[in-house]
Structure 1
Amino acid sequence: MTAESAADDTLGILHAACVKVGQDADGAELLHRSENAIYRLPGNVVARISRPGQNAAAQREINVARWLGASGISAVRAVPGVEQPVEIEDRSVTFWRELPPHHHGTPAQVAAALKQLHALAPPANFTLGEVAPFVRLEERLTAATVLADDDRRWMFEHLAELRQRWSELPEGLPWCVIHGDAWVGNVVAADDGRVILLDLERTSIGPPEWDLVHTAIKWSSFGWISAKQYGEFCDVYGYDVTAWEGFELLRDIREFRMTAMAVQVATNDPAWRDQANHRLRCIQGQMSERPWKGWSALN
């Protein structure tokens, strides 16, 4: 399916979902397409259309957003009075209040938001479930037509190795509520000063280091932030995950997930094939030592 036909497909799903819940889909604007298709609707509403078979994740995201709001945590808000998610052709559609003007959070702001989140007691009225470090990776690799046979074989073998290492994860900080995907694009700072958590479908119970490693590798693996910025992150949170003996494992899993995502994007858009190949060569050990150059954000 081409990107254009995929857009037409999700637009039809969007209109059907809006009819079910009384939302207005006229003039819907496609904002982003990656794991989900994101549309802006009239009335400061944003609709999110999942990949097929993601109803449980969509329901959990709605539950988490409502729970965080009731707990005093600034997070994306589900549109009230709408029974959701809405299921259309095995796709889950959810409706959200559009964010105010915002920008990526600084490392220090991300640290403060994570520290507040990690201090929460788990919800009493629904189950978060445990962190799933390897969710959907096999599907991405199987569907990746851009992978040569040798590279696909290597990635499956490396995935099996990472799974084994995860089963032997060293003891660290006590497990708690975690965001699950805490890169800066999912922790944003509004112009009014609020720090807002987004993309809550991975929120779960797990090691807090799983959230912290996102920012750590921006410094240690890619050089996207400075040592000073990373130091501020550690100072605010009160912990340096790179000093923990399990850091290299979580770093390797995150780098693998980022590579698998690039492979998925490149399968649908050939313009990203060089980026996917570069990431793969890095994690295979064929490039220079970290921090690696040339990792670009996937648009």
Structure 2
Amino acid sequence: MAVAGHELPQITESTFSPNRTQFVAIEACLRAGLDPAGMMLLRHQTNAVYQLTTAPVVVKVVRPGIRHTEDVVKLVRWLAGQHVPTVPLLDVEQPMHLAGCAVTLWRYLPQDQAVTAEDIARPLLSLHSLETVPLELPQLDALGMIRHSIDASTIVSDDERAVLEEFLNGVGARLQFVETSRPRLIHGDPQHRNTLWDNDVHGAVLCDWESAVFGPVEWDLVTIEVHCRRFGFPSEEYDGFCERYGRDVREWSGYEVFRDLRELRMITTNARKSAPGTPQAAEVHRRIAQLGGDANSRWFIL
């Protein structure tokens, strides 16, 4: 068993793997006075997410280079005070900074029913209804993040890189003529897997706040639409979301531009995170080959 205070080797973007992040999660637990025995890996893509078996706690090890500072923790705690439905943080000093990663600890919420797109509408509308936010967060910079991901990817070929850059330039040119709503606090990546059911509040709550920024609500709304369409959720689910939220982003004049921008962000982010020769990389290559094609073709979720 590891001992609290153990020196861990630094993790980088290229070495962010389960056999390394598990030791970071163990160390974080020990520092928080928790028992990591029997800890289970729930997810390892954008971040590493572990569930404790000895306490109702989830440990998140954040990939190096992803913004997850004290500001994000402050945001979640402030949102809870504003009654915005969010997964609660554990009441310990955090984030911890270990081996080049930020680590946060959250209350585990047992999931006994699937979250639907319609369930996401209430917490998302609650977030978008906030008028003032006394916190410093960056502005949405989708174009900049896409360019960074293209440059940082180790799996795309020269031909694929040219395709991505051409598509990005085209979307960027069209984006200049899009009129959006005024910037406000948005989640940045609302979707089924970033929403959990909380039986204590009898409803869905948002999680995974690393992408929270100030930007137009249309970004969050098109994210829901893309996920429902690309990942095979029934069309009735998205219709239910629109009815409960009170808006269908497909009726907005800038929808197609934001749709293309959001899908390109999803492709390039996964191109940056995926290792060569993996199923994730194969899915990225498949998506790049489909760029500009059938907008209703099915994607496999990563």
TM-score, L = length of structure 1: 0.85
Residue of structure 2 equivalent to 1:51 = 63
- Identity, in percent, stands at 29
Question: Shift of residue 70 of structure 1?
Answer: 0.8
State the superposition RMSD in angstroms. Answer: 2.7
Q: Secondary structure at the match of 1:87?
A: strand
Q: 2:232 aligns with which of 219, 224, 237?
A: 224
Q: Secondary structure at the match of 2:275?
A: helix
Query: Runs in 1 of length 4+ with deviation above 6 angstroms?
Result: none
Q: 1:85 aligns with which of 78, 84, 95?
A: 95
- Which residues of structure 2 form unaligned runs of 5+? 1-11
CA distance 1:16–1:112, change in 2 (3 Å): closer
Moved more, 115-124 or 256-265: 256-265
Residue of structure 2 equivalent to 1:62 = 73
Q: 2:47 aligns with which of 31, 36, 45?
A: 36
Q: 1:151 aligns with which of 160, 163, 168?
A: 160
Distance 1:12 1:270 in 2: 23
Residues 99-127 of structure 1: CA distance to partner in whole angstroms, max 9, x if unpaired?
13254432222222211111113332x22
> Aligned partner of 1:279: which letter?
R
Distance 1:245 1:68 in 2: 31
Q: Does 1:296 align with 2:286?
A: no
Residue of structure 2 equivalent to 1:120 = 130
Q: Secondary structure at the match of 2:230?
A: coil
Q: Is the 8 A contact 1:86 1:92 kept in 2?
A: yes
Residues 155-177 of structure 1: CA distance to partner in whole angstroms, max 9, x if unpaired?
133334434444x2522333322
> Aligned partner of 1:50: which letter?
V
Distance 2:90 2:245 in 1: 31
Distance 1:175 1:281 in 2: 33
Distance 1:196 1:117 in 2: 11
Tell me the matched-pair count.
289
Q: Is the 8 A contact 1:131 1:205 kept in 2?
A: yes
TM-score, L = length of structure 2: 0.84
Distance 1:250 1:136 in 2: 15
Question: Shift of residue 75 of structure 1?
Answer: 0.8
CA distance 1:172–1:70, change in 2 (3 Å): same
Q: Secondary structure at the match of 1:95?
A: strand
Q: Secondary structure at the match of 1:145?
A: coil
> Aligned partner of 1:252: which letter?
D
Q: Is the 8 A contact 1:144 1:264 kept in 2?
A: yes
Residue of structure 2 equivalent to 1:26 = 37
Q: 2:221 aligns with which of 190, 194, 212?
A: 212
> Aligned partner of 2:216: which letter?
P
Residue of structure 2 equivalent to 1:12 = 23
Q: Secondary structure at the match of 2:60?
A: strand
Question: Shift of residue 249 of structure 1?
Answer: 1.5
Q: Is the 8 A contact 2:119 2:203 kept in 1?
A: no
Residues 193-252 of structure 1: CA distance to partner in whole angstroms, max 9, x if unpaired?
311101011122211111111222345x53723443333222222222111111112101
Q: 1:244 aligns with which of 252, 269, 272?
A: 252
Residue of structure 2 equivalent to 1:198 = 207
Q: Secondary structure at the match of 1:57?
A: coil
